[in-house]
């Protein structure tokens, strides 16, 4: 993946700054809630949504199970249609291939369709180093690029910016790169869009090389599919002489028929549209129409390793709709940048540590960037159980074990910095294995309850900086039960029974005594 994110602080530290940035919080809250609600409406319109979701899951799973076969079929079909297929094992190889292809045309600039794969490999930076300038043409990507910023959302990379900020970026930066922003530009959406159109139009008309990704690749015909809303993609895919597409190997689907499912689920999940405005499809090259040279760079970059993991591989089903980001309460407050990757939000939290491994601080912290609330799984149109994968990756972080890296089985050591937690978990395990120990602990806590502070020093501050601690009750339930029911101390099955008759002991006792206000959290 791109080096631009290396050295990022771990998620909690990066998120802390975002939480305190009130403008960012407001921008994100407004944007995510708007799209979240719209998505829910768009999805509710379809009475077969659950079946479409299941179909999408199955198509992807089946394809991934026979990925090699489908990719070879795709290569054959693309080649037969006049395209050239290149295989890139990692980011460096993919960047080298694209750079060489652009160099061979003699051009010094390319226009780009919004693409996650090229961001993942840091293509723009690699091209820049070779003296080739890449112009982003998606409106939000343009904002990010002009603002020398990083994308913070898969679909709406400038979601962290409000209109005023965008106006300032356009007015300040456009002139450096081409046609300047019109004088007196305001923050009216129509004016901002028009400024971008005018700025980009000269680039579309001049460019000889286009670079794209693809949402889908159809193996049976060798057809590429790009789904977009603005029409900039259509320009980049049709006007240049040379078209280079960098696509992750998991984007292949076997047949055209499979598109039927995804072309329904993707737009509704991502932009809440029944159908996206522009769906471009092309198969190799066609004489007298569109680019005369087409190159497909098939990107692995950790995908085969991810595929080797039985639990984690479901992340490869992702169609990058970003519904999971829009619904995620953590993303909403932490913002996209805190995830330290071009893939933010829930999907990023399970994808980055698999594609990049868990060696860096940021990658080891990502599986914990979730309260496991499950909202992401609920909306995911290919039913990726993100909480399941998060927990699985937590296990990899704290326990280590075997996984696949660069195609070879590797044994991972448990991550540092979890020693205290590991000890605590072990101690808790010991106590919970012996009810007597649990009882002893509860009694000790009850005896010392008057001395318990409301706030904690050291690591405990993480709780008590913003929340009072619950008060320990005078008596645990099990002690109350034993005292009042008298038979509760025995082994399973031999314990006392609270009878349900009118004069039932339990109800009588429960109301008669023992209830203490101290039992309430923060009461």
Within residues 157-216, the interface with other proteins by CB under 8 A covers none
Stretch that binds other proteins, among 128-136, 299-307, 314-322, 463-471 (CB under 8 A): 463-471
Least spacing, CB of residue 293 vs other proteins, in Å: 46
Does position 347 interact with ligand SF4 (CB under 6 A)? The reply is: yes
Least spacing, CB of residue 68 vs ligand SF4, in Å: 23
Does position 514 interact with other proteins (CB under 8 A)? The reply is: yes
| SS3 per-residue string spanning 193-235 | HHHHHHHHHHHHHHCCEEEECCCEEECCCCEEEEEECCCHHHH
In angstroms, the CA 389 to CA 396 distance is 10
Interface residue with other proteins, options 433, 450, 451, 457 (CB under 8 A): 433
Does position 431 interact with other proteins (CB under 8 A)? The reply is: yes
Does position 314 interact with ligand SF4 (CB under 6 A)? The reply is: no
Does position 28 interact with ligand SF4 (CB under 6 A)? The reply is: no
Does position 382 interact with ligand SF4 (CB under 6 A)? The reply is: yes
Does position 363 interact with other proteins (CB under 8 A)? The reply is: no
Stretch that binds other proteins, among 69-77, 106-114, 220-228, 372-380 (CB under 8 A): 372-380
Interface residue with ligand SF4, options 381, 387, 473, 488 (CB under 6 A): 381
Residue 178's binding partner out of ligand SF4, other proteins, none, with CB under 5 to 8 Å set by partner kind? none
**3-state SS assignment for residue 383:** coil
Number of residues that bind other proteins (CB under 8 A): 95
User: What b/e string do you get for 377-391 counting C-beta neighbours within 10 Å, with b at 16 or more?
Assistant: bebbbbbbbbbbbbe
When the beta carbons of 273 and 385 are compared against other proteins, the nearer one is: 385
Q: Which residues contact 53 (CB under 8 A, 6 or more apart)?
A: 265, 380, 381, 382, 383
Stretch that binds ligand SF4, among 124-132, 248-256, 381-389, 483-491 (CB under 6 A): 381-389
User: In 3D, which of 258, 408, 295, 298 has the Cα closest to residue 72?
Assistant: 298
In angstroms, the CA 392 to CA 343 distance is 19
∠ CA 232-233-237, rounded to 5°:
120
Q: Which residues contact 302 (CB under 8 A, 6 or more apart)?
A: 1, 90, 354, 355, 356, 357
What DSSP assignment string belongs to 138-153? SHHHHHHHHTT----S
Does position 319 interact with ligand SF4 (CB under 6 A)? The reply is: yes
In angstroms, the CA 323 to CA 39 distance is 8
Interface residue with ligand SF4, options 42, 64, 324, 415 (CB under 6 A): 324
When the beta carbons of 207 and 379 are compared against ligand SF4, the nearer one is: 379
326-355 residues near other proteins, rule: CB under 8 A? 329-330, 333-334
Residue 321's binding partner out of ligand SF4, other proteins, none, with CB under 5 to 8 Å set by partner kind? ligand SF4
Stretch that binds other proteins, among 152-160, 204-212, 256-264, 483-491 (CB under 8 A): 483-491
Does position 12 interact with other proteins (CB under 8 A)? The reply is: yes
Stretch that binds other proteins, among 141-149, 173-181, 292-300, 363-371 (CB under 8 A): 363-371
Stretch that binds ligand SF4, among 28-36, 79-87, 187-195, 380-388 (CB under 6 A): 380-388
Q: What would the two tokens of residue 44 be? A: 């509710």
Helix 386-399 with 345-355: angle, nearest 10 deg? 40
CA 50 to chain CA centroid, nearest Å? 22
* Distances, alpha carbon 403 to alpha carbons 252, 307, 411, 413, 505, in Å: 24, 11, 6, 11, 56
**3-state SS assignment for residue 354:** helix
Interface residue with other proteins, options 377, 381, 382, 389 (CB under 8 A): 377
Evaluate the CA torsion angle 55, 60, 65, 68 in order and state its sign. Answer: positive
> Can you give the binding site for ligand SF4, defined by CB under 6 A?
269, 318-324, 347, 379-382, 384
């Amino acid at each position: 993946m791109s080096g631009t994110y290396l050295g990022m602080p771990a998620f909690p530290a990066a998120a802390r700054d975002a939480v305190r940035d009130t403008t960012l919080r407001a921008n994100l809250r407004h944007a995510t809630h708007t799209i979240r609600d719209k998505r829910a409406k768009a999805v509710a319109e379809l009475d077969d949504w659950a079946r479409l979701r299941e179909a999408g899951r199955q198509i992807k799973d089946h394809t991934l199970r026979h990925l090699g076969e489908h990719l070879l079929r795709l290569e054959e079909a693309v080649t037969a249609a006049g395209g050239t297929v290149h295989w890139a094992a990692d980011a460096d190889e993919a960047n080298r291939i694209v750079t060489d292809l652009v160099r061979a045309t003699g051009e010094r600039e390319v226009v780009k369709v919004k693409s996650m794969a090229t961001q993942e490999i840091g293509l723009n930076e690699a091209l820049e180093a070779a003296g080739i300038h890449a112009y982003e043409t998606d409106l939000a990507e343009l904002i990010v690029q002009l603002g020398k910023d990083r994308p913070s959302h898969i679909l709406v990379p400038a979601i962290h910016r409000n209109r005023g900020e965008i106006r300032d970026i356009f007015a300040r930066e456009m002139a450096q790169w081409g046609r300047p922003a019109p004088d007196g530009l305001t923050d009216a959406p129509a004016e901002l869009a028009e400024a971008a159109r005018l700025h980009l139009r000269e680039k579309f008309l001049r460019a000889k090389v286009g670079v794209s990704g693809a949402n889908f690749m159809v193996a049976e015909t060798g057809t590429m599919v790009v789904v977009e809303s603005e029409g900039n993609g259509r320009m980049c895919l049709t006007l240049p002489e040379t078209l280079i597409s960098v696509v992750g190997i998991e984007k292949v689907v076997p047949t055209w028929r499979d598109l039927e499912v995804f072309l329904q689920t993707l737009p509704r999940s991502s932009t809440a549209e029944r159908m996206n405005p522009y769906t471009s499809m092309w198969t190799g090259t066609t004489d007298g129409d569109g680019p005369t040279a087409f190159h497909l760079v098939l990107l692995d970059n950790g995908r085969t390793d991810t595929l080797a993991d039985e639990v984690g591989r479901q992340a490869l089903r992702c169609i990058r709709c970003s519904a999971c980001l829009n619904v995620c309460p953590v993303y909403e407050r932490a913002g996209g940048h805190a995830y330290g990757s071009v893939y933010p939000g829930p999907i990023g939290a399970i994808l980055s540590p698999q594609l990049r491994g868990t060696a860096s601080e940021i990658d080891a912290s990502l599986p914990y960037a979730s309260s496991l609330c499950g909202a992401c799984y609920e909306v995911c149109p290919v039913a990726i159980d993100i909480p399941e994968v998060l927990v699985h990756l937590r296990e990899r972080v704290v326990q280590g074990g075997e996984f696949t890296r660069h195609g070879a089985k590797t044994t991972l050591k448990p991550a540092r910095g979890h020693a205290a937690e590991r000890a605590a978990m072990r101690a808790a395990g010991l106590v919970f294995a012996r009810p007597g120990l649990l009882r002893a602990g509860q009694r000790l806590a009850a005896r010392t309850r008057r001395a318990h502070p409301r706030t904690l020093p050291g690591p405990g501050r993480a709780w008590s900086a913003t929340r009072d601690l619950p008060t320990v009750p005078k008596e645990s339930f099990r002690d109350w039960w034993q005292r009042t029911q008298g038979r509760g101390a025995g082994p399973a099955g031999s314990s006392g029974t609270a009878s349900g008759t009118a004069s039932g002991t339990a109800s009588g006792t429960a109301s008669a005594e023992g209830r203490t206000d101290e039992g309430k959290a923060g009461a």
